[in-house]
Structure 1
Amino acid sequence: MALERPFQAPDQGWAWVVLTAVLISQGLALGFPSCVGVFYTDIQTAFQATNSETSWFPSIVTAVLHAGGPICSILVERYDCRVTVFIGGILASVGMVSSAFAQTLIQLYLTAGFITGLGLCLSFQAGITVLGYYFVRRRTLANALAATGASIGMAVYPVISQYLLDLIGWRGSFLIFGGVLLNSCACACLMRPNRPPPQALAGTQQSKEECRQITTPSRPLPSNHSMPTMLSSCGRILQKYMAFDLLCDNKLYQIYVLGITWMVLGFVLPLFYLVPYATSSGIEESRAALLLTIIGLVNIFGRPLAGLISQMACLKSRLFYVFSAAVMVNGVSNLIAAMWNNYAMLVLYCVVYSISMSFIASLVFQVLMDIVGMERFPGAFGLFTILESFTLLLGPPLAGFLADFTGHYHYIFYATTVNVCTAALFMGLSVFAFKRKEAKLRETAELTPREPLMDAPNKQEKGDQCCPEEIILKTI
């Protein structure tokens, strides 16, 4: 019988090995979606498709990458993060290998889109979750360092993709990527569970029993009780993995979810359309692919730096405002690409875009953890990813339709500017108004109890005028 490993103290020891494994798995999981633009034109030519039809492929990959959050949470709860990442690596590999033999766009949507996207989702989100169990005091820094893996993937994947595309075409490239993504399974082997299990973080035996009731099949009850029991179980599962109660009651969570859902409609579009936009402007494909590499290289240094800056004492209570400011800079940066399409200005755009992207990627999960707490993070994260996946799914096809309608790619960057900037204004101003209102309510609550104390002596002096019933009530 295998012995359970003792609980690992956070922020030390094996936690750094887990962080290294997560860093590599993040690079494998997020590197491929960022380089889809390299294959965009070749896939469009191979299937004789429009921009709108071709853009469904990257949109499905990205949407499923985020929408699989509840499935990932269930697998993490039922098994653990290690098994979940292992399953994700296998699914991603199978999807990429199958896509190399796709004969229609529908088949490509299913294989490289849905199957690979789900596998990447399990690897990505389970990796983020395991860091929450191994890091507490340095969690912001750990998230930022893990996000560096995605930056390395963004820097390496475009160069390798362009080389493989020139050498063996997009089908051979996808076949190679199928083997590369299997390395996520090796990373999963290092993510050993941190005992006690995640539900013990609640600190009570009651929470452990509730988790067991949700995840363990119960015996069938009599028929007159089966329907209420099923509804009750469904309600507990939804609350645990989808956190609808937070969306109804937590104002900050409402603002954050709505703002991010609106932001991602345009936030990822430059990663898909930057290379086609550059090549349509007369820039060579190899130089155009280097633009994505520049974004990845800047992110490698930008994300850890953003994590360190975010840990400064003066910013600890203002992370939401820092995040909103980074979103605003990211939105405004798209004007550079929209107004100037020469290579020097596009390089400048990539630098500004990636610096702001570094802060966004480093803070997006930390802000969510600060809002809901680690205990409710899996459910809040699941609902958060489900909602944003809808706009992630619609963004690229809408941008493709805009490119087909206008005949130019630069209108996509104008639309992205408007979309991302309005999301930043909504989040920043809404949080400012909410906290100001909360502060006024707190001041009112502090002043209100003092008034009866000031009147107490007068009431005691007039005690002989009170009726017996009032004296009894006061005594009680």
Structure 2
Amino acid sequence: MARSNTTDSSTRPNSDQQERKLELPEGDHFQCKPSVFKLLMQPTNSVDTGWSWVICFACVCASFIMEGLLSGFGVLYVGLLGFYSATNGTSDTICSTSNSSTSMSGEIAWIGNLATLLSFLLGPIIASLASRWGVRPLFISGAVVFSAGMFLTAVTNEIWQAILAYGLMAGFGSSMIITPCYGCLAPYFRKRAALALGLVRSGSWIGNIALVPITTLIRDTYGWRSQCVFMGGISLLMIFAGALYRPRSPLAPTKKSSIKDVVCSSFITQRHVRFTVWVWLLSLHSFYYYLSLFHLVRHAECKLDDVDHTSATLLLVYIAVVAVIADVIAGILQDKLLSNKLLLLQFLIFLGGVNNMSFPFLTTYSHLVVFAVITGVAAAYLPVTCVIPQVLVGKKDAVNAFGIYVLSSGITSSLGGPAAGWYYDRYGSYDGIFVISGGMSVLSSMLMFSDIYLKKYAVTADDDDTVEASRADGEVSRAQDVITSMESSV
């Protein structure tokens, strides 16, 4: 009997162990080692660490592709100009200054300018859609719409068809990606927000360096239609970048904003007198932005006898390389070394303005190289600008404020390119338009000193609420991390 009792007692643990073997692995497998799909669907609490940098990497990749393709419209412009000029029986070339009614250069320029305009003009609407539906579906949809627009552009035979396909459709798709790249990073970063934005902006410049030579080679070898197909195909890679977006875990139930809510909130944001003044001043400066990117190559080829197309294109590479370094340095300065972020922005705008005003004195290729380097440094104002709405209005209204800024600056920046093209067609030179744009930037930087008197209009109540909310957010995040670690150890 003793033996049988011993046998029974010895067999019981084995049966229990078998039951545990049957029950525990399944639950442990799904709780401790979730699939990649489930991980991507779960919200994240990361701030300045962990998944925050994964999302930053996704934005860098998207900026690399999207803005690299949009900024390379000058390459596509040459192919479109040659095709439509031959189709319509005109003789326009890249150096033509024809002011006749048959000139095609102005109409073709609007194809790219409309896409750029929509990328900024739809900023407030895209921000509202992101807050309502989330960044991921918007991001992926934007990649599909942009790709479809490029594929349709490849089969167009009339200018109005290209305007609809590239200008409207591809422009709408690009706006669904560019706005989230810059406007939706704030919830994932606090102390490293400027650095993250600087890295995202650097991605666009690296895209210029890498994609412009590739698209140029494809256009010269296979034609502009094949270039459009390539642009549409590579843009689909942004679907994978969009999939990396994980939403932030809400601390409390929040009401999803509609477009009507955002419009009302936009008018409320206008009560921030200090922010409103800054938006107008930044918009005044934005007129200059696309002048160098769209017209510097044409100026070098047409006005300097010893400069070929390759050397002229290298000027854009110099701008991009310097801008990559300048963007990162500007982000570090904002996050760690400088307490007055507005002063850094003011300096970069002044530098860009003075640089443009010196354009009539650039008579050699070496002068243009120096001009390109300074342009790259001054371009670091963009990631600095992305942090300004949060500084002026607080996190509560930062997203809507950023949308208002994108809308306002997008209008003026999109007008700069056509204005420069019209000026060149009329006067055969870019000197005057560069001086005008530089003067606008210098004036903008000088008027920013008025911020000393506008500080009294700062909305301190919102700022205090934002600070308290940030502290509460940090406490809850730390508590959730502790609970997660305890559950994992158990």
What's the TM-score, normalizing by structure 2? 0.77
Shift of 1:341: 3.9
Aligned to 2:318: 294
Can you list the C-alpha shifts for 1:329-350, whole angstroms capped at 9, x where unaligned?
Answer: 0111123443214221111111
For the pair 1:309 / 2:333, whether they are aligned, the reply is yes
- Structure 1 residue matching 2:333: 3-state secondary structure: helix
Work out whether 1:403 is the aligned partner of 2:403. no
Question: What residue identity is the alignment partner of 1:434?
Answer: L
Q: Secondary structure at the match of 1:10?
A: coil
Task: Mark the runs of 5 or more structure 2 residues left unpaired by the alignment.
Answer: 1-36, 86-102, 459-490
Moved more, 333-342 or 365-374: 333-342
Are positions 1:57 and 2:80 aligned together? no
Query: Following the alignment from structure 1 to structure 2, what is the Cα–Cα distance between the partners of residues 393 and 333?
Result: 20
| 1:262-341 matched pairs, under 5 angstroms | 262-281=284-303, 282=305, 283-313=307-337, 315-316=338-339, 318-341=340-363
Instruction: Determine if contact 1:22/1:146 at 8 Å carries over to the other structure.
Output: yes
2:399 equivalent in structure 1? 378
What RMSD over aligned residues (CA atoms) do the two structures have, in Å? 2.2
Tell me how far 1:154 sits from its aligned partner: 2.0
Aligned position for 1:420: 441
Task: Please name the residue that 1:89 is paired with.
Answer: 143
The residue type paired with residue 308 of structure 1 is I
* 423 and 170 in structure 1: CA distance in 2 versus 1, 3 angstrom threshold: farther
Alpha-carbon distance between aligned partners in 2 of 1:51 and 1:430, rounded to the nearest angstrom: 41
Which of 371, 385, 389 is the equivalent residue of 1:349?
A: 371
Equivalent residue number for residue 430 of structure 1: 450
CA distance in 2, matches of 1:152, 1:304: 12
Q: Is 121-130 or 343-352 further displaced after alignment?
A: 121-130
| 1:364 equivalent in alignment to 2:418 | no
Listed as ranges, the matches of 1:431-470 within 5 Å are: 431-435=451-455
Structure 1 residue 26: Cα displacement: 1.0
Letter in 2 for 1:121: S
Aligned to 1:137: 191
Q: Which runs of 5+ in 1 are unaligned?
A: 216-232, 440-476
Q: Which one of 182, 187, 192 corresponds to residue 246 of structure 2? A: 192
Whole-angstrom distance in 2 between the partners of 1:425 and 1:104: 46
Contact 1:155–1:295, Cα closer than 8 Å, also in 2: no
1:55 offset after TM fit, Å? 2.4
> For residue 400 of structure 1, what is the amino acid of its counterpart?
G
The answer to whether the aligner puts 1:182 opposite 2:239 as a matched pair is no
- Where 2:223 maps in the other structure, the secondary structure is helix
Cα distance in 2, alignment partners of residues 296 and 341 from structure 1: 22
Q: Which amino acid aligns with 1:192?
A: R
**How far apart, CA to CA, are the structure 1 residues paired with 2:262 and 2:243?**
28
Residues in 1 aligned to 2:183 and 2:234: alpha-carbon distance in whole angstroms: 23
1:291-325 Cα deviation digits (max 9, x unpaired): 11111111222211111122234x22x21121011
Native 8 Å contact 2:142 2:176 kept in 1: yes
Q: Deviations over 1:159-212 (max 9, x none)?
A: 22222222122222111111011111110111122222xxx5xxx65xx2xx24
Quick check: 2:121–2:410 contact (8 Å CA) kept in 1? yes
Q: Whole-Å Cα distance in 1 between the matches of residues 181 and 61 of structure 2? A: 10
Whether the 8 Å contact between 1:52 and 1:398 is mirrored in structure 2 is no
Separation of aligned partners in 1, 2:174 and 2:83:
25
- Structure 1: distance between partners of 2:275 and 2:222: 47
Aligned to 1:35: 72
Equivalent position of 2:218 in the other structure: 164
Contact 2:191 2:335 in 1 (8 A): no
The runs of at least 4 aligned residues of structure 1 exceeding 4 Å deviation read 1-4
Partner of 2:191, secondary structure, is: coil
Question: When the two structures are aligned, how many residues end up with a matched partner?
Answer: 402
**Conserved in 1, the CA contact under 8 Å of 2:326 and 2:377?**
yes
Query: SS in structure 2 opposite 1:268?
Result: helix
After superposition, the C-alpha distances for 1:244-268 in whole angstroms (9 at most, x for unaligned) are: 1222x21211111101222222222
Task: Quickly say closer, same or farther: Cα 1:374–1:173, change in 2 above 3 A.
Answer: same
Between the aligned partners of 2:106 and 2:288, the Cα distance in structure 1 is 15
What amino acid maps onto 1:187 in structure 2? Answer: A
Q: Which of these residues, 149, 154, 160, is aligned with residue 100 of structure 1? A: 154
SS in 2 for 1:16: helix
Deviations 1:25-49 (A, max 9, x none): 0111211222222333332232234
Structure 2 residue 111 is matched with structure 1 residue 74:
no
The TM-score, its normalising length taken from structure 1, stands at 0.79
Please tell me whether residue 9 in structure 1 is matched to residue 46 in structure 2. yes
Structure 2: how far apart are the matches of 1:306 and 1:129? Answer: 18
**1:139-161 CA deviation, whole Å, 9 max, x = no partner?**
11111112111121122222222
Distance in 2 of aligned mates of 1:169 and 1:412: 32
Report the secondary structure of 1:311's partner residue.
helix
Letter in 1 for 2:141: I
Corresponding position of 1:246: 269
SS in 1 for 2:184: helix
**In the aligned structure 2, how far is the partner of 1:411 from the partner of 1:54?**
23
Give the distance between the partners of 1:408 and 1:47, measured in 2 at CA. Answer: 24
Report the Cα distance in structure 1 between the residues aligned to 2:38 and 2:213, rounded to whole angstroms. Answer: 45
The code of the aligned residue for 2:158 comes to T
- 2:350–2:442 CA contact under 8 A, matched in 1: yes
Q: Contact conserved, 2:284 with 2:444, CA < 8 A, in 1?
A: yes
Residues 373-392 of structure 1: per-residue CA shift (max 9 Å, x gap):
22212221222222223223
User: What amino acid does structure 1 have at the position aligned with 2:268?
Assistant: D
| 8 A Cα contact 1:403 1:411, kept in partner | no
Aligned partners of 1:156 and 1:13: how far apart in 2?
A: 28
Query: SS of the residue aligned with 2:155?
Result: coil
SS of equivalent to 1:103? coil
- What letter matches 1:386 in structure 2? L
Judge conservation of contact 2:121–2:406 (CA < 8 Å) in 1.
yes
